[in-house]
Structure 1
């Protein structure tokens, strides 16, 4: 006979999961009661607890969860013939309950942020589309900006993870004075446990929802790290979508008093803009590329060689997998959604460019 308490637990968990899922169809309620309501407290508490540990505990938690599921599946498969009929139903129900609990915890800890309205309205940024001519104007602006910042750099700081955490927190404090969306308490930036594996997978950094940790690939070239740290912290603040985290990362790093942060932000945005121009107007792309200073070109080369060294063919596989993940989370344009950042950059800078 099936365990009634287990069956009741399953129905309760299914009901709770459906309720959370349906809640996601009301973005304004999500923003009011979750993203701007209880989530800031949840994330702050998670960061406070995680910051006690000098290493990333999220990787360990995920490893334990995967190990537990594999153990349960293996144990069930091994004993499946000797199990009574009731137990053959009990074990799958236990596994189902485990995943339902994981889903609920993920959604409450962070995942509901996928359903919040776009942060563009909160930041007062328009979404006017640009022409090719305007895109080239934007590209020229970022080329000159990157060249100038590179020229001003006396040296590229070899930041420790703690220095990145402190400098990024300061940059967010500056932006908080302009908009409360940037409020960042209990900073918690961690180095990934195995940067070699992460580099092979083509990952610069990632957020761990269950522990509230922003994780950095410390193998990255030094000039990339400031922007990536600000990007990952944006996820900690409840910015779920990658394009919006790109925007917050750019706004924060580019307004930092640290020249290395300013350069890192403008360098990263320049890559997105040049990619867009290369597709829409290859001739203009060539002209702009030729305007890049020796220092900026050297950084492009360094980053390219870095990924070639670690990636190989793996990057293509991971890119496809990540594209699928984004689509599953309502980002229907997949990897192409990243280019929304170019639209927002145009709207941020268009007034000064049209003068």
Structure 2
């Protein structure tokens, strides 16, 4: 019975890995995943993660790393398993994590890029265009200055969702799966602050997290950036672009 269950588990893992690799290789499959399957996955996983007030993805990653490191010693010295079997168990677990990452979110890396999705013609970079943009950006930034000593986080979330819904069709980005996406605070904020990370996308449970030390002035753009990742945007440059579009359109 044990061998049969083991065989079935290995067949399931091989099937999932094959599906992942084929989706990464076949553009049509990647399009079906990102356009049709991922919105359903993100809705379900984010609904589940929203049941918890803390970042379960951060906890899952921490426990997984701890387990992968500790299990070989436990398996070999306590359960008296040979090193080869112990390492095979660890390797199988890592393969399941790999498959889960891609099925839950990572296959969005294989989707079409921004220009292909929106059919907006690519404009080549020129120093003149860039300088004109930066000059205008600085002028508008200075004109919009206001002291920001606090931030209404609930209002920021509602406004960001409203604008993503408005931009969804024209800029080819998914609508938020829920009316009030829950931005979790990173579990290890002090450490994360030391390495300079302001936010992250938790792919295993489709939740996005923000650094607990974020200043009010940084909160809206970071929120909009990380929400873009939840909406299936994998490119950091594209997530910055969507955050810029959202924030500059808000009154």
Deviation of 1:177 after TM superposition, in Å, equals 6.1
Give yes or no for contact 1:174–1:256 (8 Å, CA) kept in 2.
Answer: no
User: Structure 1 residues 161, 52: closer, same or farther in 2, change over 3 A?
Assistant: farther
Partner of 2:90: 95
Q: Return the alpha-carbon distance in structure 1 between the equivalents of residues 16 and 100 of structure 2.
A: 11
Among 220, 226, 231, the alignment partner of 1:226 is 220
Deviation of 1:35 after TM superposition, in Å, equals 0.6
Provide the aligned length of Structure 1 versus Structure 2.
Answer: 248
RMSD value over aligned CA atoms? 2.4
Deviation of 1:76 after TM superposition, in Å, equals 3.3
Q: Return the alpha-carbon distance in structure 2 between the equivalents of residues 227 and 243 of structure 1.
A: 13
Alignment of 1:45-60 (within 5 A): 45-60=44-59
Larger Rg: 1
Q: Return the alpha-carbon distance in structure 1 between the equivalents of residues 25 and 248 of structure 2.
A: 34
Partner of 1:107: 102
Q: Does 1:250 align with 2:228?
A: no
Partner of 1:326: none
User: Structure 1 residues 15, 182: closer, same or farther in 2, change over 3 A?
Assistant: closer
Partner of 2:34: 35
Identify which of structures 1 and 2 has the higher relative contact order when contacts are C-alpha pairs closer than 8 Å and 6+ apart.
Answer: 2
TM-score normalised per structure 2 = 0.87
What is the CA deviation profile of residues 255-296 of structure 1, one whole-angstrom value per residue up to 9, with x for unaligned ones? 122xxxxxxxxxxxxxxxxxxxxxxxxxxxxxxxxxxxxxxx
Alignment of 1:86-235 (within 5 A): 87-150=82-145, 153=146, 155-156=147-148, 158-159=150-151, 161-176=153-168, 178-179=170-171, 181-186=173-178, 187-235=181-229
TM-score normalised per structure 1 = 0.63
Give yes or no for contact 1:161–1:190 (8 Å, CA) kept in 2.
Answer: no
Q: Return the alpha-carbon distance in structure 1 between the equivalents of residues 199 and 110 of structure 2.
A: 22
Note the residue ranges of structure 1 that are not aligned, 5 or more in a row.
Answer: 258-355
What SS does the corresponding residue of 2:112 show, helix, strand or coil? coil
